Structure 1
Amino acid sequence: MKLTRRGVIQAAAALGAVQALGCASTPKAGPGPGPAAEEPKSKPLSILILGGTRFLGPALVETAKARGHTLTLFNRGKTNPGLFPDVEKLQGDRDPGKGEGLKALQGRKWDVVIDTSGYYPRIVKASADLLAPDVGQYVFISSVSVYKEMTKPNLTEADAVATIDPSAKEEITETSYGAFKALCEQASEAAFPGRALSIRSGYIVGPDDGSDRFTYWPLRVAKGGEMLAPGDGEDPVQFIDARDLAAFIIRGAERRTMGIFNVTGPAKPIKMRAMLEGIQQATGGDARFTWVDSAFLAQQKVMPMAEIPIWAARTGPEGGLGSVNIDRAMQAGLTTRPLADTVRDTLAWFSTLPPERQEKQRAGIKPEQEQEMLNAWKQSKGAAKAG
């Protein structure tokens, strides 16, 4: 999944690399903390997941199984094929024109379908149209990248979404990702009028995150020493542990929740300084944060969301992504676990990866570049004083 248009290509490449690596999901994904997680279980549901074997997918499977539901996974059988041997698996292709296409889904009935792998409206329309007569609810995993005005703080579900010609080339780019996701939402709602749930998720983080976007920060803080910290520490940041997102989605299926929801966190707003200090407390690292002005980083062509993942300057072109309104989701029962829990679990998972994988982090500023930026920042400050 990609959360900003600028970083979408890097994110897609990272996800592809994870798919090629085929790392199994190691953490057990439980429901989020708090009263919502302790509510009585609903009657067992039959749930079809389109995808299901990478990152959010396994979190959904584990959460649903823990709550007594029956799962079926539909995918190509190429990513982590040995995962969940006790779960029914159907093979095919989201694209009805490739191989057997969606034939394995024909004539089957489920209570709910959760679409974790839809990026193009044609593909989502094909599965939604096929399943509509025999499935009660369509849950589509969308993104906060659907919004047209990324600079706007406090984006709500009522804000305008990006647009694109439906016949545009099916290719993920900085400008097409969010617009295609918006069209996918519309395709699912058209096939399931009044029976669709669109989850506009923020950054999904935690164990099994092959993009390393959030993981970079705990690893860097734990390493210690002088560390480049972006901005002035006051930029808001948002992210959600995949296990908390999965818990919200499964509860939404149980409650037959419909409509559109921004789903990110934490539940209590947090700024970049507080996030880094919280990570430091969780890791026990001795990193020394040197805050580098966002304008200076822009001059040095250090890109938010790429070299500096998760963060974006609040006055920048994607500044609104750190303060998306999640009131609707909170009212619908969203809970988020403490930052420290996500940090510790993420580091524990990362430590299980092969050494060669650990040495090739897929996000964050490289050590050499970080030192260059710190040196340049100090020189600029010194020159300013001398002037």
Structure 2
Amino acid sequence: MKILILGGTQFIGRHMTLAYLAAGHTVSVLTRGLSPDDLPSEVERLRGDRDQGLAGLSALTERTWDACIDVSGYIPRQVRPSAEFLHNQVNRYVFVSSVSVYGDTKRRPVLETDPLLPAAAEDVTEINGETYGPLKVTCEGIVQKLYGPRSTVLRPQIVAGPHDHTGRYPYWVNRAVQGGEMLAPGDGTDHLQVIDVRDLARFAVQVVEEKLDGVFNLVGPRLSWSAFMQVLGAEQVTWVSTEVLQAQGVTSQELPLFRSEHGPLSSLMDVSPDRVLAAGLTLTDPTVTVRDTRAWSATAQLTPPFTPEREAAVLAVARGGTLPN
């Protein structure tokens, strides 16, 4: 089949491109051409800028594809023009959304049928912690209304694996291999869920090949933080309570992936994989995700979000057993 990927050179898009190629399909990618591109030569590069609306989609004129995979649609100003422009040019529109569309639900585990956040207005363009989920809700609605049963919405959990330049997952992988006393958040009983990027990409291929419509949560194994530390191979772990972390002003950006069990957005670390597993998703063992991320990040020169100096300072407070005034 012929596949069009909107944004196919970075992390998720890159793995999508490689997965479709490995399955024997022909792939075109639409990008601005600004990011490093090490894709195989058989990938067709089309240039365009979705922020320019219809004017940025001229490279797609008078072309047809079996499916469009939208991995770079974050705001309605990007998604509506492409979805409308391609309506008669693609058979299926696959939109990569996020579990953030659920907000912080009370019921757990989170299911595809759970209520979504209120949709953002279509003229909202600023993406931040407050708008990210509502914007994805709006973008999902645009695609579903235009394509109906020809649409598929994928809602991945935090995506992990090689080529993750966000550094969220690689931070923990790299910190564990550095050795020495390592700060671990909470007491080990909190949980996290991530999805290996290659599992997401393989399922996206399956969606197109088997014409799977509807909505799928894409989530991996749910691990306790204690189990996660073991998977990482961390040898000298010091657990630091959420109270100490909060008192020291440690943010979720500094300690990515950690959400205390009953704290803000903790429900998004308890998302049900039942529907997508029944549809055929296969999951990579977490030890493999760690191993392969570690191999890639060894030369990636990522900046750690939690500096060694900051970690040492917070550990010193935790060892003291008292909170500063």
TM-score, normalization by structure 1: 0.80
Matches for 1:121-160 after TM superposition, within 5 Å: 121-150=76-105, 152-160=107-115
Residues 149 and 160, structure 1, Cα contact 8 Å, conserved in 2 = no
Structure 1 gap segments, 5+ residues each: 1-44
Q: Deviations over 1:252-285 (max 9, x none)?
A: 111101111110102xx311110111110xxxx5
1:97–1:57 Cα change, 3 Å: closer
Query: Deviation at 1:228?
Result: 0.9
1:382–1:89 Cα change, 3 Å: closer
Residues 112 and 216, structure 2, Cα contact 8 Å, conserved in 1 = yes
Match of 2:308 among 362, 367, 371: 367
Equivalent position SS for 1:136:
strand
Residues 98 and 133, structure 2, Cα contact 8 Å, conserved in 1 = yes
Matches for 1:16-165 after TM superposition, within 5 Å: 45-81=1-37, 83-97=39-53, 100-150=55-105, 152-165=107-120
Query: Deviation at 1:48?
Result: 0.4
Residues 143 and 201, structure 1, Cα contact 8 Å, conserved in 2 = yes
Q: Deviations over 1:282-333 (max 9, x none)?
A: xxx5x311111112212222123x1111111011011112111111111111
Match of 1:379 among 300, 320, 325: 320
TM-score, normalization by structure 2: 0.95
Measure the CA separation in 1 of the matches of 2:208 and 2:202: 10
Partner of 1:34: none
Query: Deviation at 1:54?
Result: 0.4
Partner of 2:297: 350
Query: Deviation at 1:115?
Result: 0.2
Partner of 2:257: 310
1:366–1:152 Cα change, 3 Å: farther
Equivalent position SS for 1:72:
strand
Equivalent position SS for 1:374:
helix
Partner of 1:290: 238
Residues 235 and 322, structure 1, Cα contact 8 Å, conserved in 2 = no
Cα RMSD of the aligned pairs, angstroms, is 1.8
Residues 153 and 321, structure 1, Cα contact 8 Å, conserved in 2 = no
Q: Does 1:273 align with 2:220?
A: no
Number of aligned residue pairs = 324
Partner of 2:172: 217
Q: What amino acid is aligned across from residue 281 of structure 2 in structure 1?
A: L
Match of 1:255 among 210, 213, 224: 210
Q: What amino acid is aligned across from residue 299 of structure 1 in structure 2?
A: A
Structure 2 gap segments, 5+ residues each: none
Measure the CA separation in 2 of the matches of 1:164 and 1:240: 25
Q: Deviations over 1:108-136 (max 9, x none)?
A: 11110000000011321111111111211
Q: Which runs of 4+ in 1 moved over 6 A?
A: none
1:272–1:296 Cα change, 3 Å: same
1:153–1:307 Cα change, 3 Å: farther
Query: Deviation at 1:81?
Result: 4.3
Equivalent position SS for 1:215:
helix
1:310–1:152 Cα change, 3 Å: farther
Q: What amino acid is aligned across from residue 75 of structure 1 in structure 2?
A: T
Query: Deviation at 1:174?
Result: 1.3
Residues 139 and 199, structure 1, Cα contact 8 Å, conserved in 2 = yes
1:231–1:135 Cα change, 3 Å: same
Q: Does 1:236 align with 2:191?
A: yes
Residues 224 and 288, structure 1, Cα contact 8 Å, conserved in 2 = yes
Matches for 1:136-215 after TM superposition, within 5 Å: 136-150=91-105, 152-215=107-170
Equivalent position SS for 1:331:
helix
Q: Deviations over 1:179-226 (max 9, x none)?
A: 001111111111101111111111111110001111111211111111
Q: What amino acid is aligned across from residue 301 of structure 1 in structure 2?
A: G
1:82–1:217 Cα change, 3 Å: closer
Q: Percent identity?
A: 39
Q: What amino acid is aligned across from residue 203 of structure 1 in structure 2?
A: I
Measure the CA separation in 2 of the matches of 1:65 and 1:321: 32
Query: Deviation at 1:85?
Result: 2.0
Partner of 2:281: 334
Residues 153 and 319, structure 1, Cα contact 8 Å, conserved in 2 = no
Partner of 1:15: none
Equivalent position SS for 2:42:
coil
Query: Deviation at 1:82?
Result: 5.4
